[in-house]
Amino acid sequence: MIAKFSERLYADLNRDLNEYVLGEDNPIKRLEKSVHSCVKYLIRLKEFCKEHDPSTPAEQIEFFKHIKPKFKSLLIFYQSLLSIETRKPIGEEQAICAFLANELKVLHHFFESNLSFYQYVRTEATYLDEHYFVRGSYDVRLDPDQCVIDSDPAFSTTHDHKLAQVLASELLQEQLQQDILRITQREAIVQTESEYRDFDWKQTKCALIELIYSWHATEAFGKKSLKSIVKFIERAFNVSLGNFYDTYDWLCGRQTPTAYLDEMKEAFLLRAQKRLR
């Protein structure tokens, strides 16, 4: 029961987060909204967990290893991004890159400090699950999370928060690397192809995602994967499309899934008619 509920809840959370990416241009306000949403959905998960308590060790391992950390990691991820965004220097892109590179060093230190647990997670090991993800277990030799002493014993184990931190750190590392890459590539474009600097995407992100899925469906780029096409288009048009999978689901649910494609067709036909006159 908790698994099905959490799947729906997690989908709703990602839908809200994706809407902020598409609808809020101010990064700080977008991240603040994201943090509030993560808190709201985590509270709903906690309330449901208390109503439908995972009693057996197997149920607790499933919840505290595979369900709760997914929600908690997003909260940590967006809180970290918000902190970085509010501290990020304004001005030269080299200074911004240096700042982001230093944040990557902080993440590297976290991974090094929790290497044993990180390896356990990355190898998908299970032999310590009953110590890490079952409530009431506290083995000081396994480096338990210190905050578990002050947390709700019905909604925490010694390592579910640390697992959420690992997942969030992986997300954050990928995001920071993409941001640095985007800045350095933008610098290269400005230096070598300044005549193309105004070719940023001016339409909506939804419109671009319509095009990308159409290109992929018609194999316009051959057998390239959807994700690789998205990354190429993001770099080419200097745009971040966020969780494009959820956007696609939203597009399919609209009354007119191909609104931008239809608009393009009408514009083309109108132009063609004018030429023939």
Residue 274 has what pLDDT? 83
The 3-state secondary structure of the chain, one letter per residue: CHHHHHHHHHHHHHHHHHHHHHHCCCHHHHHHHHHHHHHHHHHHHHHHHHHCCCCCHHHHHHHHHHHHHHHHHHHHHHHHHHHHHHHCCCCCHHHHHHHHHHHHHHHHHHHHHCHHHHHHHHCCCCCCHHHHCCCCCCCHHHCCCHHHHCCCHHHCCCCHHHHHHHHHHHHHHHHHHHHHHHHHHHHHHHHHCHHHCCCCCCCCHHHHHHHHHHHHHCCCCCCCCHHHHHHHHHHHHCCCCCCHHHHHHHHHCCCCCCHHHHHHHHHHHHHHHHHHC
Residue 127 CA, distance from chain mean position: 29
Domain boundaries defined on the chain: 2-194, 199-276
Residue 153 has what pLDDT? 82
Residue 22 has what pLDDT? 82
Residue 202 has what pLDDT? 83
Residue 110 has what pLDDT? 93
Type of residue found at 29: K
Residue 244 has what pLDDT? 86
**pLDDT tens string for the chain (277 positions)?**
788 999 999 999 999 999 998 888 899 999 999 999 999 999 999 999 999 999 899 999 999 999 999 999 999 999 999 999 999 998 888 899 999 999 999 999 999 999 999 999 999 999 999 999 999 887 777 777 766 656 788 899 999 999 999 999 999 999 999 999 888 887 665 565 555 556 778 888 899 999 999 999 999 999 899 999 999 988 888 888 888 888 888 889 888 889 899 999 999 999 888 877 6
CA gap 241, 256 in Å, rounded = 20
Residue 182 has what pLDDT? 85
Structure tokens at 264: 């393009």
Residue 113 has what pLDDT? 92
